[in-house]
């Protein structure tokens, strides 16, 4: 839906509430007590009631909006803006766009949407040829009393470690240009890890990869654990660091673009929220050809019965 149509159709709270109601009814309402699909709507309370057992369900329950005091218009416009650009918005920009008085509420709404994006992507495994490597993302830098950024004791102290995997497909030879990668990227996953030991790698790989995946990594010994977790694991020992980006072109492009986006837009992200920002990056990367359909997909995810906790407390 283009911008002018969107804002002319959903300019009031009532129109936005009607939108969510109709989309939720299209998706189907199931009673959590008796499993019935037959409900009736109580307009005054914005609730459905189960025709068989009488259990009532609010429009927000079981959606990303559950437990939120923000209005339907803020949520619908917020979801629309989150789907509008590849780059995204900072919470401050979003607060201005929505003309909302509280920064914290908008920040929290955006974190919930990012968590939801991550949960959506968790439903899919990466399969086929996979490039896997570790990435280091720059976390929050403390400021001293004068507002100057203080250097951490060690450079690595503020870096967040992550396992990054991209599925790839070979390019038809006639289209291949010299010096360019011989594959094109498919889907991307980035997961923050405590450490890069084999236990953490095995845990993330099991969540990310299909059993039939064919994975290429560098020669680090902790990646040997992948052997039992996927169809094939190929370790390439890279002697010259400059060659790494040629051997793993897409995983390194993804890491570099994610870093640029997070640093450029959000400047400084606390380590505990880094996964949420990476979720948004991966979600949009994985749906980069969706165009304006991205909004519909985001609405589907927002209204799906999911677990949205634990939600971070507002800063």
Q: Which of 5, 11, 12, 33 lies at the binding interface for Zn ion (CB under 5 A)?
A: 33
Site membership for Zn ion, residue 132 (CB under 5 A): no
* Both structure tokens of 106: 């908008």
Q: Residue 55 or residue 297: which is nearer to Zn ion going by CB? A: 55
* Closest distance to Zn ion from the beta carbon of 31 (Å): 3
Nearer to Zn ion by Cβ, of 52 and 203: the residue is 52
**Beta carbon nearer to Zn ion, 35 or 170:** 35
C-alpha to C-alpha distances, 160 to 149, 228, 286, 312, nearest whole angstrom: 18, 27, 22, 18
Q: Nearest distance from residue 65's CB to Zn ion, in Å?
A: 22
Pair 217, 200: CB distance under 8 Å: no
Query: Can you tell me whether residue 235 is helix, strand or coil?
Result: strand
The only residue of 23, 47, 55, 259 in contact with Zn ion, by rule CB under 5 A: 55
Binding segment for Zn ion among 29-37, 41-49, 123-131, 254-262 (CB under 5 A)? 29-37
Q: Phi then psi for 293, rounded to 5 degrees?
A: -70, -15
- Sign of the dihedral defined by the CA atoms of residues 257, 307, 290, 77, in that order: negative
Q: How far is the CB of 37 from Zn ion (least distance, A)?
A: 10
Q: Is 151 exposed, middle or buried (0-12, 13-18, 19+ CB in 10 A)?
A: exposed
Is 32 a residue that touches Zn ion (CB under 5 A)? Answer: no
> What are the φ and ψ backbone dihedral angles of 30, each rounded to 5 degrees?
-115, 130
Q: How far is the CB of 54 from Zn ion (least distance, A)?
A: 7
Burial readout 152-167 (b: 16 or more C-beta within 10 A, e: otherwise): eeeeeebbbbbbbbbb
Q: How far is the CB of 57 from Zn ion (least distance, A)?
A: 9
CA-CA distances (angstroms) from residue 299 to 25, 63, 224, 294? Answer: 13, 10, 40, 9
Please, which residue, 38 or 92, has the CB nearer to Zn ion? Answer: 38
Question: Contacting Zn ion (CB under 5 A), which of 29, 50, 116, 213?
Answer: 50
Question: Per rule CB under 5 A, is residue 34 in the interface with Zn ion?
Answer: yes
* Three-point CA angle 171, 176, 177, nearest 5°: 150
Give whichever of 13 and 45 is closer to Zn ion, judged by the CB atom: 45
Q: Which stretch binds Zn ion (CB under 5 A): 15-23, 51-59, 91-99, 107-115?
A: 51-59
- Among 29, 31, 109, 117, indicate the residue that binds Zn ion (CB under 5 A): 31
Q: Which residues bind Zn ion (CB under 5 A)?
A: 31, 33-34, 36, 50, 52-53, 55
């Amino acid at each position: 839906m283009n911008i002018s149509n969107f804002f002319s159709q959903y300019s009031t709270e009532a129109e936005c509430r009607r939108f969510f109601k109709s989309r939720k009814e299209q998706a189907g309402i199931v009673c959590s007590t008796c499993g019935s699909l037959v409900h009736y709507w109580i307009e005054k309370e914005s609730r459905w009631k189960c025709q068989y057992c009488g259990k009532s369900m609010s429009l927000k329950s079981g959606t990303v909006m559950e437990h939120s005091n923000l209005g339907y218009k803020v949520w619908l416009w917020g979801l629309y803006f989150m789907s509008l650009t590849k780059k995204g918005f900072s919470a401050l920009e979003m607060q201005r766009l929505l003309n909302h008085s509280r920064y914290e509420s908008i920040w929290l709404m955006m974190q919930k949407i990012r968590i939801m994006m991550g949960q959506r992507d968790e439903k899919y495994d990466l399969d086929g040829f996979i490039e896997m490597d570790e990435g280091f993302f720059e976390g929050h830098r403390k400021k001293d009393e004068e507002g100057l950024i203080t250097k951490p004791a060690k450079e690595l102290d503020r870096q967040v470690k992550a396992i990054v995997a991209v599925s790839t497909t070979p390019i038809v030879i006639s289209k291949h240009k010299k010096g360019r990668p011989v594959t094109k990227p498919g889907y991307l996953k980035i997961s923050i890890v405590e450490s890069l030991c084999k236990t953490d790698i095995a845990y993330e790989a099991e969540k990310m990869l299909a059993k039939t995946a064919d994975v290429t990594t560098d020669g680090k010994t902790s990646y040997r654990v992948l052997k039992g977790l996927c169809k094939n694991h190929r370790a390439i020992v890279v002697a010259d660091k400059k060659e790494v980006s040629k051997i793993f072109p897409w995983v390194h492009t993804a890491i570099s673009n994610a870093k640029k986006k997070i640093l450029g837009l959000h400047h400084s992200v606390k380590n505990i929220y880094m996964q949420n920002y990476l979720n948004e990056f991966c979600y949009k990367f994985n749906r980069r050809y969706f165009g304006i359909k991205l909004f519909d997909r985001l609405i589907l995810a927002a209204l799906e019965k999911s677990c949205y906790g634990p939600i971070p407390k507002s800063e």
